[in-house]
A and B are shown apart, each in its own frame.
Chain A
Amino acid sequence: MDLSVAGDIRERFLKLGVDLDEEDINQRLRRLTLEFKVPEDEARRSVINYFLKENGLEREKYYAGASDDLIAIGDIKEEGRWVNLKAKVVQLWEPSHESIHQTGLLGDGTGTIKFTMFESSSDPEEMVLEEGRSYLIRGAVTGIWQGRYQLNFNRATTIEEIDEEIIVESPTQEFTGVIVEIQSGSGLIKRCPECNRALSKGSCNEHGRVEGVYDLRIKAVIDDGEKTQDVIINRELTEELCGITLEEARDMATEALDHGIVADVIRRKILARYYTITGRRFDRYLLAETIKPKKFSNDVLERLLSQVSQSSE
């Protein structure tokens, strides 16, 4: 255990007006990590909680005042941390439950992250985020859901609008695996001419019944045997990948009197095949920028053959 961890804890408690013995902190940390093999993070958390309880302090106080440092969204890799950040509201979603005040997607130059503001967070009239605006957020708590990090805003969270242009960008990622599912909403779809949202049964969630504009896209799941990734493939890439243009897809659907036929064609072409996809992450999706069939590799075959022959000697 790093000595500075104990020093750090002592310093933070000093700010709250409590003078702890650094050696005492250190002994407790060591006991957990060395004797009981507790991971370092858990040990730290547990020791902090012990001293908070001992001194009748609230958890929020310790963490909220802990640091003024700003974190980049791409650096959020732990749950249960109190963080400060500057971010832009990329999208707001309809809350799925009445206890949720606002929910949506925040972004900065390193990625995007889902946030949830609970009704109990504060005065519901206050703290209303708007799409496209940027904010300085202090005291948000990181969490994890469905394997992805998210931010929760609570009573101690403060939000302040800032006059700063934040460009939202995610780093390019690569995923190699098998396409194991083509989801509904793939193939020939119609979009709202106003907002570009995909229509559901001829209606836009926002604008009601509209004359839709045809588009072609694929919502797929790619799987490498250890994890899965949802992918969205746009019209251009879909046309290239499946050798079918939007025009042809329309004709095909008209002739068959069924839009579903286009999704069937896509399925037959790419389902259960190996691909390498690069793109940027947006919410839970990887937005494909390139998609290449994975080629059979003799090098890998040679390597595996030598691996199995070695071990049998």
Chain B
Amino acid sequence: MRLEYFQLIDRIVDLRLADRKIDTEATVPTTSTVFEGHFPGFPLMPGVLLIETMAQTSGWLVVAVNRFERMAFLAAVKDAKFRMFVRPGQKLSVKAALIHEGSGYAITQANIALDGKSICDATLTLRVLDFPNGEMKLRMREAAARVGFPAEVPADG
């Protein structure tokens, strides 16, 4: 994770298009300016960034389902729960499942686990739109390569 750059996913561990599921991993950095404010003397991974971590995981899944032709933008967060503190240096396992593919939107169920224990979950709505411009698509391709997004999105089934 590079919190200041909103790079919250380190690696795509598994992408199962036929099942509409994805697993990613993300290790909370040991140092970050974010921890200077959240909180002084007791650094914690902010809940909003845990939501973003689930949103980015969901986003890669939706982008993959759409063959990198469309982009996912977070639109709504429901039933978000944070069950325990997340501290610097902890390695998070993130999962997302696409539970509905609508016209121009997608609904995912996402969760984060620490040492096999679920610590955070939410239902996310993402708008699914054409990439606003070529530069964004190019930059997202670069980000995809960084997290190990398959160069060729596997076929369904």
Q: Do A and B bind each other?
A: no
Interface of A toward B, CB cutoff 8 Å: none
